[in-house]
Structure 1
Amino acid sequence: MTQPALIRETFPVGPLQCNCTLIGDPVSKKALVVDPGGEPEMILARLNAHGLTLVAIIHTHAHLDHFLASGRLKELTGATLHLHKDDKFLWDNLEMQCRLFGVPYQPVPDPDQWLADDEELACGCGAALHTPGHTPGSMSFWFPQDKLLIAGDTLFRRGIGRTDLWGGDFAAIQRSIRERLYVLDEEATVVTGHGPDTQLGEEMRANPFVTA
């Protein structure tokens, strides 16, 4: 029997308009939120509109614009916070990041669990992929049944994440895209960290920074 499609909604939030994505299991009604970069009450309202219960808050990386609502969302829902351990140094310096970019700091508790490469995500609907380069702990999230890839700031439409910030590595991001992302289904929709979705096959052929 074919499984029903996941519930998915992506919308920009916060001062830097980070793409926040809700992923919900249509059967259990459990949900993940990826990169809640601001506006926690709005995120919660969207979850409620879909009838979803938030169980995990997962981060593609620990830059300020991807976490600004994480603490408040955890407070409101009791959901657990997840991050790759290699970005702990960035998480520990969230207040400094906010100060540098002139963004009000909202305290965020430490992550509850460290994400691991190839780890199955809560809800059992997808997997975490370690894709370092933009940051050392950058993650992408792959949902094979729905041909959906959440790439954070690793891969953009005809672009890649910048590597001139703390811990960035241009060779590493190229390697991550070629070896971890371009081996996935070419028909996959790619949700980027900012801006419009793209299609994986199009990036494999036309991305000026990394081709397959």
Structure 2
Amino acid sequence: MQTPTLIRETFPVGPLQCNCTIIGDPVTKKAIVVDPGGDHQLILDRLDQLGLKVVSIIHTHAHLDHFLASGEMKKATGATLHLHKDDKFLWDNLEMQCKLFGVPYNPVPAPDHWLQDDEELPCGCGVAMHTPGHTPGSMSFWFPEAKLLIAGDTLFRRGIGRTDLWGGDYAQIETSIRQRLYTLDEDAVVVTGHGPDTQIGDEIRENPFIRG
């Protein structure tokens, strides 16, 4: 039986049901966790069940619902925190964001590493893509061998990320989707920031906001 190119599990976490994704290397058993938006013990338990060791905690952007378990995850695992620098102003104001939305704030240390466009991800199986618009530092993560895209809040099933929050820019998100995401393999599965998966080709043809 052929070994899968990566282990992928996505499940909603936290008060705003952000999709958290575990990406693991089936050979080395090293993993990254994308957007741990709450329920840190649930994420840790799932990593244990999968036999994976998390080495990096990676964020698509710095809105509160995508980071709420990051501090506890780092404390428990020693994994590094990753973010694009253009979202530093949001990260620096995480406590304020929580207060605005009435969500308890758990302190999170500063990111250990600033993500760059086209940077290889720690497990060596994917690449970071800077896709600004929802926030200035929004990132998507592309895993070409698995035909898998983690799009955060940039692209949803028949929707796009809102641009009326801090640093949002509609022209930027349109460019990011058209020039970066819609040029990927049409068969690729898209893991969205909230809600169900979709496919690139389906969004190109059917997304009412931005069609290819």
- TM-score w.r.t. length of structure 1: 0.99
Please state whether the residue corresponding to 2:133 is helix, strand or coil.
coil
The residue that corresponds to 2:24 in the other structure is 24
Is it true that 1:150 corresponds to 2:150 in the alignment? Answer: yes
Is it true that 1:189 corresponds to 2:189 in the alignment? Answer: yes
4+ runs deviating over 6 angstroms: none
- Correspondences of 1:40-79 after superposition (within 5 Å): 40-79=40-79
Whether the 8 Å CA contact 2:3–2:26 is kept in 1: the answer is no
Q: Give 1:163 deviation, angstroms.
A: 0.2
Alpha-carbon distance between aligned partners in 1 of 2:51 and 2:211, rounded to the nearest angstrom: 40
- Correspondences of 1:97-136 after superposition (within 5 Å): 97-136=97-136
Alpha-carbon distance between aligned partners in 1 of 2:182 and 2:114, rounded to the nearest angstrom: 25
Deviations 1:174-211 (A, max 9, x none): 00000010010000000000000001100011101111
Fraction of identical pairs, as percent: 78
Q: Give 1:9 deviation, angstroms.
A: 0.4
Alpha-carbon distance between aligned partners in 1 of 2:202 and 2:174, rounded to the nearest angstrom: 16
Q: Give 1:3 deviation, angstroms.
A: 6.1
The residue that corresponds to 1:88 in the other structure is 88
Where do 5+ consecutive residues of structure 1 fail to align?
Answer: none
Q: CA RMSD in A?
A: 0.7
Please state whether the residue corresponding to 2:76 is helix, strand or coil.
helix
The residue that corresponds to 2:15 in the other structure is 15
The residue that corresponds to 1:172 in the other structure is 172
Alpha-carbon distance between aligned partners in 1 of 2:116 and 2:167, rounded to the nearest angstrom: 19
Alpha-carbon distance between aligned partners in 2 of 1:75 and 1:151, rounded to the nearest angstrom: 26
What is the number of residues matched between the two proteins?
A: 211
AA of the residue aligned to 2:189: T
Whether the 8 Å CA contact 2:130–2:137 is kept in 1: the answer is yes
Is it true that 1:206 corresponds to 2:170 in the alignment? Answer: no
Please state whether the residue corresponding to 2:141 is helix, strand or coil.
strand
Where do 5+ consecutive residues of structure 2 fail to align?
Answer: none
Alpha-carbon distance between aligned partners in 2 of 1:22 and 1:67, rounded to the nearest angstrom: 14
Alpha-carbon distance between aligned partners in 2 of 1:25 and 1:128, rounded to the nearest angstrom: 17
Alpha-carbon distance between aligned partners in 1 of 2:71 and 2:32, rounded to the nearest angstrom: 15
Please state whether the residue corresponding to 1:122 is helix, strand or coil.
coil
AA of the residue aligned to 1:91: W
Please state whether the residue corresponding to 1:9 is helix, strand or coil.
strand
Alpha-carbon distance between aligned partners in 1 of 2:3 and 2:120, rounded to the nearest angstrom: 17
AA of the residue aligned to 1:127: V
Alpha-carbon distance between aligned partners in 1 of 2:119 and 2:87, rounded to the nearest angstrom: 17
AA of the residue aligned to 2:98: C
Q: Give 1:4 deviation, angstroms.
A: 2.8
